[in-house]
A and B are shown apart, each in its own frame.
Chain A
Amino acid sequence: MTKPPQHVRIAKKADLAELSNIRRSVVEFLRQHNAADDLVDDLSLVVSELASNVIEHTDSDTILVVVERTASDWVIDVADADSIPGLDDLSAPDPSMITGRGLFVVQSLVDSMSIVEEGGSFVVRCRRSV
């Protein structure tokens, strides 16, 4: 039986209309690895939040999402994250607040979240243990 690929690289136009297609590609990759439904839901949500954030703030024409299955973690990279808001204050917003939940939700679903520099641009990187 063929082993599934260890990563998927999804490059799309930086357009909110692509969010659904990005999620579908991520779900397909996770299913290839027999990921449980809860994990598929959680990582789809993580990717959607990060991709939305990057698309809404980037000047780039394209968005790149990479999901990798390592021995210990699921790793999600989303670029170009040059203009993503800081990750310093991600406390839970007041329930009546309308905005400010996206990155808080992401933080709640992963084990780590950071912004790293790769090849001259910034990538928001999340890890969730397998």
Chain B
Amino acid sequence: MRGHPLSTLSGMSDAPARLSITVNNPASVVLAGEIDAHTAPQLAAQFETLPDDSEAVEINMAGVDFMDSSGLRVVIELHNRISAAGGALTICDPSRSVSRLLEISGLTDHLNVRSS
């Protein structure tokens, strides 16, 4: 079944929707838009709904135009939670912005990143 955007968040009235979260199934999440201190709480809330015992969770981040350390915090939280339960989180096709942030933060080797 094709997924659908569960939620979007708009900034000012003149700004387009900024973060789209699509959950295709509990193990596959597609993100698009901008992840910053304003939108990260929405992402964290969505991640909270993912089951702890997921063996493999994939987050596609090809459509993430911007992410700062607020988004990184949420991703690491999920990574730690899934790993503690014996599962694995994979970041798929990170955009240039996401790749740059992971590189600067020294997390490229710590997180499981896969580019197609």
Task: Tally A residues with Cβ within 8 Å of B.
Answer: 31
Decide if B53 is an interface residue (CB 8 Å cutoff): no
Task: Tally B residues with Cβ within 8 Å of A.
Answer: 26
Looking at the complex, which of A41-49, A58-66, A68-76, A82-90 is the stretch in contact with chain B? A41-49
CA distance A21 to B76 in the complex (A): 26
Q: Are A55 and B73 in contact (CB under 8 A)?
A: no
**Contact flag A96-B80 (CB < 8 Å), given A21-B11, A21-B15, A23-B66:** yes
Decide if B113 is an interface residue (CB 8 Å cutoff): no
Q: Are B11 and A95 in contact (CB under 8 A)?
A: no
Looking at the complex, which of B21-29, B30-38, B54-62, B86-94 is the stretch in contact with chain A? B30-38
CA distance A19 to B9 in the complex (A): 13
Q: Which residues from A are CB-within-8-Å of B97?
A: 41, 45
Q: Are A108 and B36 in contact (CB under 8 A)?
A: no
Q: Are B77 and A16 in contact (CB under 8 A)?
A: no
Residues of chain B touching chain A, judged by Cβ–Cβ distance below 8 Å, are 11-12, 15, 18, 34, 36-38, 66, 68-70, 72-73, 76-77, 80, 96-97, 100-101, 104-107, 110
**Contact flag A45-B68 (CB < 8 Å), given A19-B36, A95-B107, A101-B73:** yes
Contact partner, A17, options B38, B69, B96, B101, Cβ 8 Å: B38
Other A-B pairs, 6, CB within 8 Å; known A95-B76, A96-B110? A18-B12, A20-B15, A48-B36, A92-B105, A101-B73, A104-B105
Nearest to B79 among chain A residues (CB) is: A96
Q: Which residues from A are CB-within-8-Å of B12?
A: 17-18, 20-21
CA distance A101 to B76 in the complex (A): 12
Decide if A109 is an interface residue (CB 8 Å cutoff): yes
Nearest to B19 among chain A residues (CB) is: A20
Q: Closest CB-CB distance, B59 to chain A, in whole Å?
A: 16
Query: Could you give 21 example pairs across A and B, Cβ below 8 Å?
Result: A16-B37, A17-B11, A17-B38, A18-B11, A18-B12, A19-B11, A20-B11, A24-B15, A45-B97, A48-B36, A48-B66, A49-B68, A52-B68, A95-B76, A95-B107, A96-B76, A97-B76, A101-B69, A102-B70, A104-B105, A105-B101
Q: Are B36 and A52 in contact (CB under 8 A)?
A: yes
Q: Closest CB-CB distance, A56 to chain B, in whole Å?
A: 7
